[in-house]
Chains A and B, each alone.
Chain A
Amino acid sequence: MATKDSASATTSSASGSTATATATATATSLRVEDVTVESGIEPGASAETMLVTTDSLEEFEQELSSSIDDRQMKESITSTISDIQQDPVDSPKTLAMNLEKSASFDSNEIDELSQQFGQNSLDADPLKCKVWLAQKKHVFVLSQAGKPIYSRYSSEDKLVTVMGVMQALVSFVQAGNDMIRSVHAGDTNFVFVVRGPLILVSVSKTLESVPQLVLQLTYVYNQILSVLSQSQLTKVYEQRRNFDLRRLLTGSERLIDHLLNFMDREPAFFLSAVKCLPLLPSMRDAITQTIVQTCSKIKNLVFAILLANNQLITLVRMKKFCIHPADLHLIQNLVDSSESFKTAESWTPICLPKFDSNGFMYSHVSYLAEDCQACLLLLTVDRDVFFTLSEAKQKIVEKLRRTNCLEAINESMNKASITIAEIGLSEMRHVLYKCKSTAQFWSPGFQPPYTTDEEIQRLLGCYQCLHHRLHSPSRPLKLIFQQLDKETMLAWVTSGFELYVTFEPLITKTDAINSIGKLLKWIKKEEERLFILNSPTF
């Protein structure tokens, strides 16, 4: 699989130098003080936040710093959900029942079947298919026993042999009490993540760095947890090492497919942040208050989340509990990939791995109205309150309609995002601004030349490169100013924010600094509309 020539393997015991030897960043002597931001008032900053603020590379660091045993320990700690549930006796029982049921079937048949499939389809070997080989980024999931679970392109049971090789690589290195992290061959990176009973592999020809690919694989793993929960996953493999997990995952492949495409086009994932739907602060407050008032009496309601166009309108939480952006991204992925939520109210079990990887929450999912396509999720730990929540939702919608909030949401949803040109910054083209203290980010609409999918992809790729350089574990940077063929880019991280800016290629440093000053002033002026600055609770 891995070509021998020029292949270098990085393992945890190796020096940890990543393959990108070209990463000598062109940090310049830009004088940051020139940019007029008074410290302490970063746009969008707030003392309160409903999101867990994280460094986007926490996964990677955790991955590096922990041995296998360590990680398994961490993953099986106490359950947040049963803490919330008032009846502590009941919850372990229901969970145990879930597990018994799920593990009580006989998987021999399916196992045999999948083997047959594997053999029958050797004639249609994807490894001989040019289109398949040319895909930019493959993602594979297999069990520690080498059983195929998921492949991004082509059916996984045609890849039994390749996955066997992957499993062999992992276990060979494991035998020496080590972990394989990545293999670099030419322009291709092979990245391995071993989590619990699963092996996740990314084979990428993109410019994404190893930590970024690890992050994506961790998202895939979390997506699987979100469907099955940690305890169920561990349990099935404890009972049968060569279990065929596809049996339990049927129907959720599309969630992984969608997640991978989502990560390729959304900066939210590598920024580890969430984008808000721009709304007048008075409107947003009215919406939030409506939800708070309607739901305040409902016991065990943990989160109320209102999403539109994948952006957050509001999030109300139970006191003491915050939501991790990674969990919110999984929720966004679920909503965005499930058209069927539009036709009926749903009662959906979901495990939020960062919140509690061992238990399920129940989510009442519905769109506000035919004429207002914002999706409301009410998440609870109580599986019997569908009708209470359904009723609450009706009331919320009635009130929002009376107070013209639905209109306000529609107006904002239908309006194209403001572009940098409209803000009046002539030499700037695009920007990503992340406020660290609230884990929220803002970006304007795309303007020429970034109007085709290809160009947008390329631009996001550039941002990812910059992001990697700022956060490179071996050599983190504060400021990058880089003149490329088609644009000039600047990346800047402070204690309060991260900023990634795209300029015209020939801009001078002085002009760049001046326009960043203007941009930050504009964001500051608009911050109440662009960000959620409070953190409401029930």
Chain B
Amino acid sequence: MITVEGKVVLLGSQGVGKTSMINRYVNKSFNNNVNPTIGAAFFTCTINLDNAKVKFQVWDTAGQERFKSMAPMYYRNANAAFLVFDITEYNTFTSVKSWVTELKRNVEGTMVLILVGNKLDLADMRKVDSEECRKYAESIGASYYEISVLHDEGVEQVFLAASFGLLKLSTGEKDIVTTLKIYDFNNSEIKNSDVPLSEEVLVNMNIAHGIKEKPYLCC
């Protein structure tokens, strides 16, 4: 049983449902009048898989234009990105593409990319073609999901996919060492803690006074 902890960033235009999505997943709730996020909000959640535990540190960023210059703060060192758009607004899909370009340009480490089309409940007003998204996702090496946060459809799968992605990143290291740079959370942990790669340390990243016991090598 291993534990993987990763930093995840939610990116996308304003009003596509980033905050609603994370709230749906973490707090199991949906608020009709969610306020626009100011700056960013931080969430943590854990997914238990068959033989692993995946912990997410999620940065839910603000979609407004004026916060754009803050984004690098959140995607730097991120291990996964949820790129969220609204299937009823084509320009939100376009802005997802520009986020991807920005990520490719500025992020060194390998990142799990997950393209999320939200508001499936408004499918009759759809402006973004599924096939186009699927092809685009394929071209950037992302997986693609269409979800409805309102009806709680597909949200679990998105997070599950992310956790599998992170797990693959953490275990696949040996075979694809050349293409896959060592994930950032491990890097920074080694620097910070000066102990061998230890899941326990990763787990306790937030609580620096946490116990550091039985260093465990995952690879």
Contact = CB atoms under 8 A, between A and B. Distances in A.
Interface of A: 97-98, 101-102, 105, 227-228, 232, 247-248, 250-252, 254, 334, 337-340, 343-350, 362-363, 383-384, 386-387, 390-391, 394
A250 B206 contact: no
A251 B36 contact: yes
Contacts of B205: 387
B10 to A, nearest CB: 12
Contacts of B41: 340, 343-347
Interface in B42-72: 42-43, 60, 62, 64-70
Contact of A101 (B19, B36, B69, B73): B69
A250 B64 CA distance: 7
B196 interface: no
Contact of B208 (A102, A339, A391): A391
Nearest to B19: A340
A340 B60 CA distance: 12
Interface string B179-219: 00000000000000000000000000111100000000000
Contacts of B65: 102, 105, 247-248, 250
A391 B62 CA distance: 23
Contact of A340 (B35, B207, B208): B35
Contacts of B67: 349
B100 interface: no
A254 B35 contact: yes
A349 B70 contact: yes
Contact of B42 (A105, A248, A390): A390
* A-B complex: 10 closest residue pairs judged by Cβ atoms: A251-B36, A348-B39, A344-B41, A101-B69, A345-B42, A98-B69, A346-B41, A348-B38, A248-B66, A340-B35
The listed residue with most B CB atoms (<10 A of its CB), out of A227, A251, A252, is A251
B34 interface: yes
A384 B70 contact: no
B154 to A, nearest CB: 21
A402 to B, nearest CB: 15
A340 B39 contact: no
14 contacts: A101-B68, A227-B66, A251-B14, A251-B38, A254-B36, A339-B31, A340-B35, A345-B42, A346-B42, A349-B67, A363-B39, A386-B42, A391-B208, A394-B206
Nearest to B58: A344
Interface string B73-88: 1000000000000000
A102 B64 CA distance: 11
A338 B38 contact: yes
A391 B207 contact: yes
B23 interface: yes
Contacts of A347: 39-42
Nearest to B57: A387
Of the listed residues A254, A349, A384, the one surrounded by the most CB atoms of chain B closer than 10 A to its CB is A349
A337 B23 CA distance: 18
B65 to A, nearest CB: 6
A338 B37 CA distance: 9
Contacts of A350: 38
Contacts of B14: 250-251
A340 B66 contact: no
Nearest to A95: B69
A97 B69 contact: yes
A347 to B, nearest CB: 5
A343 B27 contact: yes
Contacts of A390: 42, 206
Contacts of A247: 65
Nearest to A254: B35
A384 B40 CA distance: 13
Contact of A337 (B26, B34, B35, B207): B35
A295 to B, nearest CB: 15
A277 to B, nearest CB: 24
Nearest to A227: B66
A250 B36 contact: yes
A383 B73 contact: yes
Contact of B206 (A338, A340, A391): A391
B35 A346 contact: no
Contact of A346 (B26, B34, B40, B66): B40
B31 to A, nearest CB: 7
Contacts of B62: 251
Given A248-B66, A391-B208, A340 B34 contact: yes
Contact of A343 (B23, B39, B64, B68): B23
Nearest to A341: B41
Contacts of B69: 97-98, 101-102
